[in-house]
Amino acid sequence: MILDIKVMEKFINEHQSQYVGKYRFHSGYRIEDNAFKFHYYMYDENFRQIDIYAEIRVKDSITYTFSEDLHEQEKIYIVKDALKIMSGRVQHKGALHYSLYENYIKTTSNEHIHLEPIDYVDLLSYMKYHRGINQETMDDYYRMFIPCLKMLLDHRKYKKFIDSVSYLLNTILYEYEWDGTNLKYLDTEYQYHLYYIREIIVLVYKHLDKFYKNVPDELFEVIKILCCNERFSFAIMTDFGSLILSHYKVTLDLIEALKQELVLNDKDEDRKNVNLVFSYIFYIFHNDYDQYYAVVLKVLRMVINNMLTFANHDLDLALGNSFVKTEGYQIILDLFEEDYNTFIFTCFPIDSFPKELRSTVKEELEKAILYFAARMENDKYRLSSFEQVANINRLLMDNFKEWYK
């Protein structure tokens, strides 16, 4: 039975509102021809997860039940969001009946090549609903999904392969920010997928010429999706960059196509909405070190901002450390010389610097304290400058107190 899209659209149109709900989509799956189960959640100010479950039925009208009592505005917000997800889901024809999800998860066979790309997303959502979003769930999912992708390659079903990857990326690449008492929490799922997306990229890399020949538009869309998710893509840049830069002719065409849709960073021009992933790859390809270095500095600014903003910043720390390992600690000093943001040394402690650079760090801090002391004469900058001066004094005393004895 096909769900009546008009009934869903009518409900959404009749309940127009500016209200933005507190709960966000977690997972959901079809339980009957006209019914879905959904899991929504939120985090409180102490970052404790609060879950809510809903069952929504679509017949002549929309009916719904919730696991907990919520105020009506929140219920309507969740139902409308769920209906949009349901509507988007039924636009794609699947091959797997909802009653068979559990069986297919337990069984990997040649029958998997007859699944449609949307089926793999449905299976993942089903698993997340029943098992939660965690590494164990993702490990189990990819033990099924990766062999399926390999079978698709063996049968030369390149479009099914690339569409399956595209649907997956659109499902997992989301970021929610939750406000805490002092910090924010960046809620993501994709960190559980990093290892396996790298494995998928390696599969594409090995058959890139075939993908480019058979499904160039779909291949471009996947690469564009990755470019538009900067934090995720920089975390897998070793493999992602190798994929794009591996075949000269393919690289030329991809870069030209991306240039039509994404904004390239330029160190000599202030451009809005620049795409750092594309810019990073573009300047490596064209061997433009100055522009490349300017992009790396911007990425480090993003990393530092995330580390100072979010309570969970392990991925950002790893990304920052990878750039420092590649470019050397001088890049941190260069960034400090440009920004005079002393909180850089909160993210990259001075005691981690090589000994030969420590005197240079001290000199830069001493120049900075004079700069901020002078700015304190201006009422507009007095408070922020005082904060920086206090932080510099702390850094000098903690790291160079032997110089002042």
pLDDT at 182: 86
Assess if residue 115 is contained within a domain.
Answer: no
The last residue of one of the domains, among 91, 115, 137, is 91
3-class secondary-structure state, position 344: helix
pLDDT at 104: 84
Other residues' Cβ atoms within 10 Å of the Cβ of residue 318? 11
Element (H, E) at 49: strand 49-58
Which residues span the domain enclosing 349? 328-405
Residue 405 has pLDDT above 60, yes or no: no
Assess if residue 306 is contained within a domain.
Answer: no
Distance, C-alpha 162 to centroid of its chain: 19
pLDDT at 4: 81
The last residue of one of the domains, among 34, 56, 91, is 91
Assess if residue 288 is contained within a domain.
Answer: no
The last residue of one of the domains, among 30, 63, 91, is 91
Assess if residue 164 is contained within a domain.
Answer: no
For helices 158-172 and 135-154, the axis angle rounded to 10 degrees is 160
Q: Phi and psi of 378, rounded to 5°?
A: -95, 125
Rounded Cα–Cα distance for residues 389 and 384 (Å): 9
Tell me the average pLDDT of the chain.
92
- pLDDT category at 225 given cuts 50, 70, 90 is very high
Assess if residue 395 is contained within a domain.
Answer: yes
The answer for residues whose C-beta is within 8 angstroms of residue 54's C-beta and 6 or more apart is 37, 38, 40, 64, 65, 66, 67, 78, 79, 82
pLDDT above 90 covers a percentage of the chain that reads: 77
Assess if residue 354 is contained within a domain.
Answer: yes
Are the CB atoms for 189 and 315 separated by under 8 Å?
Answer: no
- pLDDT category at 103 given cuts 50, 70, 90 is confident
Ordered DSSP codes for 155-216: TT-HHHHHHHHHHHHHHH--EEEEE-SSSEEEEESGGGTHHHHHHHHHHHHHTHHHHHHH-H
Assess if residue 284 is contained within a domain.
Answer: no
The answer for residues whose C-beta is within 8 angstroms of residue 65's C-beta and 6 or more apart is 54, 55
Assess if residue 377 is contained within a domain.
Answer: yes
**Number of domains the chain is built from:** 2
